[in-house]
Chain A
Amino acid sequence: MASMGDTRPALRFVSPTASRELALIAAIIIVSVIFASASPYFLTVNNLVQTMRAGLELAIISAGMTLVIIMGAIDVSVGGILAVSAIVIGKAYQAGLPVYIVTPAGLMVGTALGAFNGFITAKLKVPPIISTLGSMYIFSAIMFLVIGGAWISGLPGTLSPLINGWVGFVPAAALVIGAVYLLAWVVLRKLSFGSHIYAIGCDEHSARLVGINVDRTKIMTYALLGFLTGLAALLYVARLRNVEINIGTTIALEAIAATILGGTNIRGGVGSLLGTLLGVAFIRIMQNGLVLMGVSSLWETVIIGSLLIVVLTGDALRNRNNARAI
C-alpha cells in the first residue's frame, strides 16, 4: 500500500479482497483446530467429504450470486428457482423421461427463471431487491400449486456419481465445485462480459455511456445465476432423491451471507470468487463442527447473522474515509 501523500501508482496489483481471503483461511484453520480438539470425528476424511457434499448446492449457487452482487444487484429468489427446477426435474423423472432429456430441461428451467428476474430488473427498472422478492412469491406459488403439499419421492439417483463418486483420490463433488468456479472465473475475469459486470457494479450510468449494453448484461448475469441454480437442483435431486416442500427456504440468505463474508462488496464493483468459496466452506464447517460439539443446529442462524454483522461493521469502519464506499 502506498503511504499518505504518495500519489505514484502502485508497482504491482493489490487485490482489494486478498486480505479478506487470508483472514477467512485463518478463521477456517482456527475453527478447525477448535472442532478437531473437541471431537475426534471432525478431522476424518469421511466427515470432511460429507461436509463438502452437503455444501455442494450452496457453493454452486454462491458462485452465481457473487457475479450478481458484483454487478451491484441481488437475487433473493434463488430458493424459488431451486424449488421450481427441482420439481420440474422430479416430475420429468416420474414421467419416465431419461436423464439426457431431464438434465437439459432442468438447466433450461433454471436459466429461464433467472432470465425472467433479469428482464424485470433491467427492462421494467424494478430495483433488484423488489423484483426478486416479487418473483420469489411467484416461484413459491408455482411450487405449491404443482407439488400440492406432498413430497416427490423415490426419484432415481442417476447423477449421484457426480456427488458420491471418487476420481482416484479426489471426490467427484470437489471436481464439480472446481469446474463451476473455473467457469465463473473465466466468465468474470477472461471475457469482456465479466468486465462489463464489474463496470456496471462500479457505475451503471458510466457503463451505459461507454457503450456497454447494460440491460443485456444484467439479463445474462441473472440467467447465468439461474443456470447454476438449475444445476444445483439437479444435484439436489440426485443427492436426496426426493423433493421436499421446504426446499430452498434458506439458500438465498446463506448464499448472500457466503458472498459478503468472502469480501464481495454489497454495493457492487468489488468481489472475489475465491473469497466466496472460502465463505461457503467457513459456513458449512461451522455448521458441521457445531453439530459435532453438540450445539443445537438452531443456533446456526444466530452465528451466521452475528458473523455477518461483525464483517459488515469491520468493513464499515475500514472504509470510513473512502468516499466511494458511502
Chain B
Amino acid sequence: MTTWTKGPAIRDPLQARLILLLGLWLVAIAAMTLLSPYFWRVSTIPYLLQYVPVLGLLGLGQTLVILAGGPGIDLSVGSVVSLVGVAVGGLFTLGIDIWVACGFGVVLGAALGGVNGLLINVLRIPSLMATLATMFVFGGLALATTAGRPIGGFPPEFAWLGQGHTFGLPNAFVFVLLPVAVALHVMLTRTTIGRHIVACGNDDRAAHLSGLNVVRLRIALYALSGVLAALGSIISMSWFLAARPDAGRGMELLAVTIAVLGGTHIFGGTGGVPGTIAALLIVTTLQIGLQLANISAAWQLGLIGVLLIVSVSRLSVWRRAGGVKS
C-alpha cells in the first residue's frame, strides 16, 4: 500500500472514500425527505432493504473481481441471474424440489463464472471482451430457451426468502446479504486469501514471483461472482415467485457502478466491502426516494452516470498522486 501523508487524520484513501460516501448518503436521504413526505418513516427501512440484496450480491462479486486486477470486470453477472433463474425454473417444472433446484442453480452459477475465469485467465482474452461475449451467450440462452416467457408456479413456501420478514427485516437481507458481506469483509481484511487478492490487484507479476497462483485465484473469484449472481437470482425468483428470462437485464452495469463508486479502483488493488455497501445504499436510496416522490426514474439513471464518472475521475487523481501509473 502506498503511504498517505497529506492528510494528518485520514491516511487511507479507502477510509476517506467511505466517509465521503456516507456523507453523500446523508445528502441523498435529506434530499429524498424534502422531495417526498412518505420517505422519512420507519417503514421505509424494510422497504429499502427489500431492494438491496440482489444488487448487493452482484456488486460484492464485482468488487472482488475488479479488486484482483488484471484488469478484471464481469459484465455477464446480469445474464447469469437470468440464466440461473431459467434453469432453476426449468428443473422445478420437471418435478424437482424447488430447494434442490436452487442448489443446482448455485452450482450452475459457479460453472458459468468458471467459464469466464478460464476464458480470461487461461486463454488471456481481455475481461471486458470475454464477459461481453458471455453476456450475449448466457442472456441469449435464457431468452431463447424460454421464448421470452417467464416461468411461474413456484410453491408459496418458496416466498419465505424473498417476501418473508424476521424482526421486521427482509429475510433475504438478514440471512443472505448480511452474512455474505460480513464473511467477504473478514476474508478481505483478516485472512491471507484477502491479502493475496489485494496483492494480485496491485502487481500480479510481483504476486506471481512471490509464489501466489494468480491464475487460480482469479478463476476462483470469477466463479465466486457467478455463485453470488446465482444467489441473487434465487432471491429475485423468490420475491416475484417467477423466473423471468430478462430478470438480470441492466444489472451488470449497476453492479460495476456500485463497485467503482464504492472506491474499488478499476485496475484493481484498492477497494473493499464497506465502500460497495455504502454505494449500494446511495443508489437504492435514490431509487426508492424518487419512486416514492413519483419522479421519473430517468433522473436516477442520470445521477448514477454523473456519480460514476465523478467518482472515477477523482480516484485516478489520487492514484497519480501515489505515483502509480494508471
Residues of A within 8 A of B (CB): 74, 120, 124-127, 129-131, 133-138, 140-145, 148, 253, 256-257, 260, 266-267, 296, 298-306, 308-309, 312-313, 315-317, 326
Contact = CB atoms under 8 A, between A and B. Distances in A.
Given A133-B257, A144-B296, A126 B316 contact: yes
Nearest to B138: A305
Contacts of A326: 124
Contacts of A145: 296, 298-299, 302
Contact of B309 (A134, A266, A308, A317): A134
Contact of A266 (B119, B126, B135, B137): B126
A312 B137 contact: no
A126 B132 contact: no
A278 to B, nearest CB: 19
B133 to A, nearest CB: 4
Nearest to B252: A133
B260 interface: yes
Given A137-B304, A256-B132, A301-B140, A130 B312 contact: yes
Nearest to B297: A144
A101 to B, nearest CB: 27
A316 B73 CA distance: 18
Given A137-B301, A308-B129, A120 B135 contact: no
B35 interface: no
Given A305-B135, A308-B136, A299 B126 contact: no
Given A301-B137, A304-B136, 12 more contacts: A127-B267, A130-B312, A134-B305, A134-B308, A134-B309, A134-B312, A140-B301, A141-B298, A266-B128, A296-B147, A298-B148, A316-B125
A125 B326 contact: yes
B266 A305 contact: no
Contacts of B320: 125
Q: Which of B125, B128, B267, B298 is the most central at the interface, judged by chain A CB atoms within 10 Å of its CB?
A: B298
20 contacts: A74-B128, A126-B313, A127-B312, A129-B73, A129-B266, A130-B312, A134-B312, A137-B253, A140-B298, A141-B298, A141-B299, A145-B298, A145-B299, A266-B126, A266-B128, A298-B144, A302-B136, A309-B134, A312-B130, A316-B123
Nearest to A148: B296
A300 B253 CA distance: 22
A120 to B, nearest CB: 6
A308 B132 contact: yes
Nearest to A145: B298
A137 B305 contact: yes
A174 B71 CA distance: 40
Top 3 A-B pairs, shortest CB-CB distance: A305-B136, A137-B305, A141-B302
B306 A134 contact: yes
